[in-house]
Amino acid sequence: MIGSLPPGWILIFGSLLIPLLRGRLRSAYMLLLPAIGFGQLLWLQRSLSAQLEGGVVLHRVSTFAYSLDVVRVDRLSLVFGLIFYIATFLAVIYALRVNESGQHVAALVYAGSAIGAAFAGDLITLFVYWELLAVSSVFLIWAGRTERSYKSGMRYLIVHVASGVLLLLGTVAHYFETGSIAFGHLGLDGLGGQLIFIAFGIKCAFPLLHNWLQDSYPEATVTGTVFLSVFTTKLAVYALARGFAGVEILIWIGVTMTIFPIFFAVIENDLRRVLAYSLNNQLGFMVVGIGVGTEMALNGTAAHAFAHILYKSLLFMSMGAVLHRAGTIKASELGGLYKSMPWTTTCCIIGSLSISGLPLFSGFVSKSMILTGAVEAHYAFGYILLLFASAGVVDHSGIKIPFFAFFAHDSGIRCKEAPPNMLIAMGLTSLLCVLIGIFPRPLYDILPYPVDFDPYTPSHVITVLQLLVFALLSFVILARKHLETPEVPSVNVDTDWVYRKLLPSATAAFVRVGAPIRDTFIGGTKQLVSRLIDGVKIYHGPDSLFARTWMTGRTVLLVTVFLLGYLILYF
C-alpha cells in the first residue's frame, strides 16, 4: 500500500496528524515519516532497477484532456529523492525541541513538496508542487516572529510566486509549441522553454535573481533555516538537470555564481548570511556541471548536490546551535566558543573541511567530478575560474565560519553546549560527510550514469592540497598583517540595493519633480471643467434659453427652419 503512494505524500499528508500528538509520541511519529518514505524509495529502486535507465511512469492521470505523469521514477529522481529524505530525517532530529506544531507541519509539507516535484513526470504536476513548496516554506521564515522576518517572508513569497507564474506561462507556451507537457529536456529554442528556464533560475538563485536567498534564510528560525538550505535550490538544480542539460549558457552563469558571492561573504558579519552566500557559490558548481552536460558532469552535479545538502545542513546546524545558545550570530560578537561548545566546534570544522573539498571529506569526491567534466569537455578557462572559486570557498566557509565563531578571540560568552538532539543531528551528518569522503563508491553507484572515476588519483589530491594550502597561507598572511577584512557590525547591500536604495530615491525624485507638474495639471483641469459648466448653464440653466417655455408658434417656426435646412442639404 505505502509503496504505491506518490513519493512525498507520506510527509505532506502525514504531517497533518502532528498537531494531535504530544511529547515523545510526536517525536517518534515525526522521525517515522521520513524513515518510511526512505524505505519506499529503496523498495522502488530495487523493484524497478532493470527499468530505471529509461524511466518508469508509476501513476498516470487523465484530466481536462491532459495526461499527467504524476510519478515518474528514474535514476536522477531517485538520487535527489533519497538525499531529500535523509536530510529531512536529520533536520527533524535537529528540530525535535521545537514545541510549535505549525513549524513541524510547514517543514514536512515543504520537504514532501520537494520530493513530490522530483518525481513529477509532467510540467503541470511540477507546477502544483512548485507552488506548494513556496507557500509552505514561507511559514518557516515568518515563524521568526520579527518585523524583519515578516517583511523578508513577504518578499520571498512574491519572488517564488512569480517563479511559479513563469513556470505556468512557460508550460502553456511549451504546450502550444510542441503539443506536450512532458517534463523532459526542454531547451531554449522556444518561448516556453525560455520562460521555464527563468522560473528555474529564480529558484536556483541565478545572478541578479539571487538576493531572496540571502534576504530570507538568515531571518528564518534556527531549525527553519536548516530545512530551507536543503530543498528549494537543490530542487531547482534537479529541474535544470532534467530540462536544460547541455545548455552552454549555464556554464557561464554557473561560473559567475561561484565567483561573485565570495566577495560578499568575505565582508559579511552575519555568519548565517555568509553561509547563504556560500550556498549560492556551491550552486554555481552544480550549474556548471549541468551546462557541460556530459555524463561525467551530470554525475558530478548529482553527487555534489547530495554531498552539499549534507555539509551545508551541518554548517547551518552548527551556526543555529551557536545562535540558540549564544543569542547572536554576528562574527564581531563571537569568538572563544570552543571552550563552551567543543562538540559543536568539531562538527562545524568537519562541515568546513567538507565544503572546502579536503580529501577524505564529501566535498572532495563530488566537486572533483565536476572539475574533471569541465576539463574533459575542453572548458579550460571555466576550469581555472572554478579553481579560483574553490580557493574562495576555503576562505569564507572553510576558515572564516569556524575561526570567527569559535577561535578568533575570546568574546567572554560562556554558554551551554548545544541540546542533545542538535548534537545527535550534527554528529550523524558529520559521520555521513566523512564516510562519503572515505568510501565514495556507494554514492557513485546510485548516480544517473555508470561511474568510472577515482577521485583519489595523485593529480587530483595534489591539486586540491596545493589549492587549500595556498588559500590557508594567504588567509594567515593577511590576518597577521591586519589586511584581512575586519568583522564589524554592518549591513551590506547586494542587489537589494534596487528596492532598498534605488526605487525609494527614484520615487522621491519623481515626487519632487512631478508634484508641480501634477498640481498645474490638476489646477488647469479644474478651470477647464468650471468653464465648461458655466457654458452649459448659459443654455441649460434655470434662466437659460432652453429652460424657458416656448409658444407653439415659435416651436413650429423652429421646426420649419430645421426642415428647410435639411431639404437644402439633401438636394
Same domain, 370 and 432: yes
Is the residue at 180 inside a domain? yes
Nearest-angstrom CA–CA distance, 550 and 555? 7
Is the residue at 101 inside a domain? yes
Count of beta carbons in the 10 Å neighbourhood of residue 442: 9
Same domain, 168 and 249: no
Question: Taking the complete model, does pTM exceed 0.75, yes or no?
Answer: yes
Looking at 223, 240, 257, the residue that finishes a domain is 240
Three-state DSSP class for 122?
Answer: strand
- Please state the separation of Cα 496 from the chain's center in Å: 16
Is the residue at 423 inside a domain? yes
Same domain, 517 and 476: no
Same domain, 364 and 451: yes
pLDDT tens digits for the chain (571 residues)?
565 688 999 999 999 999 999 989 999 999 999 999 999 999 988 888 877 777 888 878 877 777 888 899 999 999 999 999 999 999 999 999 998 999 999 999 999 999 999 999 999 999 999 999 999 999 999 998 889 899 999 999 999 999 999 999 999 999 999 989 999 999 999 999 999 999 999 999 999 888 889 889 999 999 999 999 999 999 999 999 999 999 999 999 999 999 988 888 888 888 999 999 999 999 999 999 999 999 999 999 999 999 999 999 999 999 999 999 998 898 888 888 988 999 999 999 999 999 988 999 999 999 999 999 999 998 988 889 998 888 888 877 788 889 888 887 777 788 899 999 999 999 999 999 999 999 999 999 999 999 989 999 888 888 888 888 877 777 777 666 655 655 656 666 667 667 667 777 777 777 777 778 877 888 888 888 788 777 766 666 666 655 666 566 666 666 777 777 777 776 6
Q: What pLDDT was estimated at residue 261?
A: 86
Phi, psi of 334 (to 5 degrees): -110, 180
Nearest-angstrom CA–CA distance, 254 and 397? 19
Is the residue at 500 inside a domain? no
Q: What is the DSSP letter of 483?
A: -
Q: What pLDDT was estimated at residue 568?
A: 77
Looking at 207, 240, 273, the residue that finishes a domain is 240
Looking at 187, 208, 240, the residue that finishes a domain is 240
What domain range includes position 538? 513-570
Q: Is 406 within 8 Å of 348 (Cβ atoms)? A: yes
Nearest-angstrom CA–CA distance, 163 and 143? 23
Same domain, 281 and 339: yes
Is the residue at 497 inside a domain? no
Exposed/middle/buried for residue 199 (C-beta within 10 Å: 0-12, 13-18, 19+):
buried
Q: What pLDDT was estimated at residue 283?
A: 95
478, HSE (Cβ side, Cα atoms, 13 Å): 14
Q: What pLDDT was estimated at residue 252?
A: 94
Is the residue at 433 inside a domain? yes
Query: Which residues, other chains included, contact 312 with Cβ-Cβ below 8 Å and sequence gap of 6+?
Result: 229, 230, 275, 278, 279, 282, 351, 355
**Domains: count for the chain:** 3
Same domain, 236 and 249: no
Same domain, 269 and 406: yes
Same domain, 411 and 530: no
Instruction: List strand residue ranges (DSSP E) for 328-466, in order.
Output: none
Nearest-angstrom CA–CA distance, 547 and 543? 6
Comparing C-alpha atoms, which of 342, 322, 345 is closest to residue 334?
A: 322
Same domain, 204 and 71: yes
Instruction: List strand residue ranges (DSSP E) for 24-105, in order.
Output: 56-63, 66-73
Tell me the three cell numbers of residue 483: 589586511
Query: Which residues, other chains included, contact 418 with Cβ-Cβ below 8 Å and sequence gap of 6+?
Result: 321, 324, 325, 341, 343, 344, 426
Same domain, 272 and 211: no
Is the residue at 505 inside a domain? no
Region for 101 from its dihedrals, namely left if φ exceeds 0, alpha if ψ lies in -120 to 50, beta otherwise: alpha
Is the residue at 498 inside a domain? no
Same domain, 427 and 551: no
Q: What pLDDT was estimated at residue 570?
A: 67
